[in-house]
Amino acid sequence: MIRLALLPLAALSMGACAYSDPPSAALPVQPGTCDAAQAGALVGRTYAPAMAAEVQALTGATAIRVLPPGTAATMDFRAERVNVDLDDKGRIVAVRCG
């Protein structure tokens, strides 16, 4: 008798394990908001100040911050800013938003 009473409970708990539908679409990126997905091609290139416009065009960012090794940087997140991390030879090692 107890087994029969536990059967509906087991069925209900298995239903909680079911997957839900994923979100239908990602939110669109607002104009002026950084999106570093397209900037991967810059990694490995030597950075020059003339590249700032190219970095901004690829990411959509309105502000750019270049960070050589050991540079102090604030931890605040700004959606409109792109950070370009450099190695000790001036090569781009990462392009990230924030």
Handedness of CA 61, 65, 68, 74 (dihedral sign): negative
**Residue 8, pLDDT score:** 65
Do residues 82 and 62 lie in contact, with contact meaning Cβ atoms separated by under 8 Å?
no
**Residue 92, pLDDT score:** 97
- Residue 92 corresponds to which amino acid? I
State pLDDT tens for residues 23-37. Answer: 555 556 566 789 999
Do residues 65 and 83 lie in contact, with contact meaning Cβ atoms separated by under 8 Å?
yes
Taking the CB of residue 91, how many other CB atoms lie within 10 A of it?
A: 14
pTM over 0.95: no
Enumerate domains of the chain plus CATH numbers. Answer: 33-98 (3.30.10.10)
**Residue 51, pLDDT score:** 94
Look at residue 45 and tell me whether its pLDDT is greater than 80: yes
